[in-house]
């Protein structure tokens, strides 16, 4: 028995010993197709020699230099590369070691920005009920899962939660997607007005909701209206692209699809592709200039921000995504995966919705397709599917996620961008085996 403290204390997990392309291999030699890139992390697959070389080179040159004294070459180069491709107005990069650190930094930056602008009354954060922003206390407070927050309630900052943009469940019969998007966005304005516009500092949302909901994009026009509402009331827009960013949806930044720029943008997972722990919070020049021209010091920080080896990995990963033209590949393979999932599962009696963008796809499971009633949480369908898929040699990310903040079951797929066309059927075949084992035969 090892002394590792696993997330599930009684889980008897296999020991991963190797990774090759889209596969992970355990100590007994079993191979698993990494159909979710872990949790939408491994966008380049495993064992990519260009990335491991870049890491080794950096280790040989410089492993660590504290950011209180130095910046480093890979951190500077990665920041420049990200800004060269970032949405309009985004001008600075603050590195972190992961996603929760990025969203936590975003919340604190929003607050400090208003304090430095002489508006200390702006303290309210608004988020959506269907969202996950991380597990540190600020990020957890922002997240929409009631069940994740429940036992930590007394420790959390106050955050307002509004409805997500969730077409499958919330669009009314006869309502156009556009009209629904405007109605959903209006909830933000209503909440800002309820709280008092000059007391609200920021709104945070995932452009495509990942872990809690199974790749739910907003309808066209929703985020443009959200941007307008934020601008009208001087509220900062924070987009959390920790899961959906870095090419996953078929754009380097997911918000490109919605045609908007946020004030603060969080990325992680695909930035290091699993080769190193790294995330980043990007912000507008206006926010940076306010702090630079004010106190001159962002009252935040962690020992490992801008770590040379982590940023060298990030630089090699983003370089690979761009130079190997993986984004058009994600668009092409994503369309094929979507078609294959529809072909295989659209008629399944427990499949309510198949959705997503690029290589970020979700399947929502229901008890009844007509009524869209969720499965009974006591059945623990998501957990059983995860186990059955694993048994069938497929890593996917089924979650007891959220339907309006509560539990519901979905499967999230986020395979490596480097997979090839023939591997799509490997995903659908193995998933079909798991679905049959847990939910019974299709017909």
The closest alpha carbon to 75, from 313, 277, 286, belongs to 313
Q: Which is nearer to ligand PLP, 75 or 266 (CB)?
A: 266
Quote the least distance from Cβ 170 to ligand PLP, whole Å.
20
Q: Which is nearer to ligand PLP, 187 or 240 (CB)?
A: 240
Q: Which is nearer to ligand PLP, 132 or 275 (CB)?
A: 132
Q: Which is nearer to ligand PLP, 129 or 344 (CB)?
A: 129
Helix or strand (DSSP H, E) at 190: helix 177-195
Contact, 279 vs 245, CB < 8 A?
A: no
Quote the least distance from Cβ 281 to ligand PLP, whole Å.
11
Q: Which is nearer to ligand PLP, 131 or 423 (CB)?
A: 131
Q: Residue 106, Cα to own-chain centre: how many angstroms?
A: 15
Q: Which is nearer to ligand PLP, 313 or 392 (CB)?
A: 313
Strands in 60-158 per DSSP E? 90-96, 124-128
Quote the least distance from Cβ 84 to ligand PLP, whole Å.
24
Q: Which is nearer to ligand PLP, 51 or 242 (CB)?
A: 242
Quote the least distance from Cβ 208 to ligand PLP, whole Å.
9
Cα 369 to Cα 348: distance, rounded to the nearest angstrom:
9
Quote the least distance from Cβ 98 to ligand PLP, whole Å.
3
Quote the least distance from Cβ 318 to ligand PLP, whole Å.
17
Q: Residue 357, Cα to own-chain centre: how many angstroms?
A: 13
Phi, psi of 330 (to 5 degrees): -60, -40
* Local structure of 18: helix, strand or coil: strand
Contact, 312 vs 54, CB < 8 A?
A: yes
Contact, 263 vs 255, CB < 8 A?
A: no
Quote the least distance from Cβ 30 to ligand PLP, whole Å.
25
Helices 73-85 and 308-323 pack at an angle, to 10 degrees, of: 40
Handedness of CA 19, 23, 25, 29 (dihedral sign): negative
Rg (CA), the chain: 21
- CA count, 13 A, side-chain hemisphere, 198: 5
Q: Which is nearer to ligand PLP, 46 or 133 (CB)?
A: 133
- Name the β-bridge partners of 92: 283
Q: Pairing state of beta strands 264-267 and 279-284?
A: antiparallel
Quote the least distance from Cβ 241 to ligand PLP, whole Å.
7
Burial label, 369 (beta-carbon count in 10 A; 0-12, 13-18, 19+): middle
* Local structure of 354: helix, strand or coil: strand
Burial label, 172 (beta-carbon count in 10 A; 0-12, 13-18, 19+): exposed
Q: Which is nearer to ligand PLP, 144 or 181 (CB)?
A: 144
The closest alpha carbon to 92, from 279, 287, 298, belongs to 287
Let me know the angle formed at the C-alpha of 329 by 327 and 335, rounded to the nearest 5 degrees: 105
Q: Given the rule CB under 6 A, which residues bind ligand PLP?
A: 39, 98-100, 103, 132-134, 206, 210-211, 240, 242-243, 268
Q: Which is nearer to ligand PLP, 75 or 242 (CB)?
A: 242
Quote the least distance from Cβ 100 to ligand PLP, whole Å.
3
Q: Which is nearer to ligand PLP, 67 or 97 (CB)?
A: 97
The closest alpha carbon to 254, from 322, 199, 154, 327, belongs to 327
Quote the least distance from Cβ 210 to ligand PLP, whole Å.
5
The closest alpha carbon to 431, from 439, 421, 422, belongs to 439
Q: Which is nearer to ligand PLP, 251 or 350 (CB)?
A: 251
Give residue number: closest CB to ligand PLP: 99
Quote the least distance from Cβ 268 to ligand PLP, whole Å.
5
Quote the least distance from Cβ 102 to ligand PLP, whole Å.
7
Q: Residue 31, Cα to own-chain centre: how many angstroms?
A: 26
């Amino acid at each position: 028995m090892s002394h590792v403290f696993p997330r599930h204390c009684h889980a008897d997990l296999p020991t991963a010993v190797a990774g090759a392309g889209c596969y992970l291999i355990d100590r007994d030699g079993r191979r698993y197709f990494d159909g979710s890139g872990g949790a939408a992390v491994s966008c380049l697959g495993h064992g990519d020699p260009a990335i491991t070389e870049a890491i080794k080179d950096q280790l040989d040159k410089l492993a660590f230099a504290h950011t209180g004294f130095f910046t480093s070459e890979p951190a500077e180069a990665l920041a420049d590369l990200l800004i060269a491709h970032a949405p309009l107005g985004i001008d600075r990069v603050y590195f972190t070691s992961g996603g929760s650190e990025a969203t936590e930094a975003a919340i604190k930056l929003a607050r400090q920005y208003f304090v430095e602008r002489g508006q200390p009354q702006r303290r309210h954060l608004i988020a959506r009920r269907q969202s996950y922003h991380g597990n540190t206390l600020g990020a957890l407070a922002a997240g929409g899962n009631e069940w994740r927050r429940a036992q930590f309630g007394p420790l959390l900052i106050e955050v307002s939660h509004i409805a997500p943009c969730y077409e499958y469940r919330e669009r009314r019969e006869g309502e156009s997607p556009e009209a629904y998007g405007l109605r959903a966005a209006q909830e933000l304005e209503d909440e800002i007005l309820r709280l008092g516009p000059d007391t609200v500092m920021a709104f945070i949302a995932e452009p495509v909701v990942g872990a809690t909901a199974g790749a739910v994009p907003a309808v066209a026009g929703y985020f443009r209206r959200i941007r307008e509402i934020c601008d009208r009331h001087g509220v900062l827009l924070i987009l959390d692209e920790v899961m959906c960013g870095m090419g996953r949806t078929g754009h380097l930044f997911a918000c490109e699809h919605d045609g908007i720029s946020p004030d603060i943008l969080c990325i992680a997972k695909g930035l290091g592709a699993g080769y190193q722990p790294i995330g980043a919070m990007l912000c507008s020049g206006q926010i940076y200039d306010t702090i630079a021209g004010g106190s001159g010091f962002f009252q935040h920080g962690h020992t490992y921000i801008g770590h040379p080896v982590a940023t060298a990995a990030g630089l090699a990963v983003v370089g690979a995504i761009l130079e190997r033209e993986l984004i058009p590949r994600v668009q092409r393979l994503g369309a094929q995966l979507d078609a294959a999932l529809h072909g295989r599962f659209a008629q399944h009696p427990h499949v309510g919705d198949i959705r997503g963008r690029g290589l970020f796809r979700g399947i929502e499971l229901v008890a009844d397709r007509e009524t869209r009633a969720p499965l009974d949480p006591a059945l623990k369908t998501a957990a059983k599917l995860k186990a059955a898929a694993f048994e069938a040699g497929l890593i996917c990310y089924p979650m007891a996620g959220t339907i309006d903040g509560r539990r519901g079951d979905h499967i999230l797929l986020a395979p490596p961008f480097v997979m090839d066309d023939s591997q799509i059927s490997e995903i659908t075949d193995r998933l079909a085996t798991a679905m049959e084992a847990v939910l019974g035969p299709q017909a």
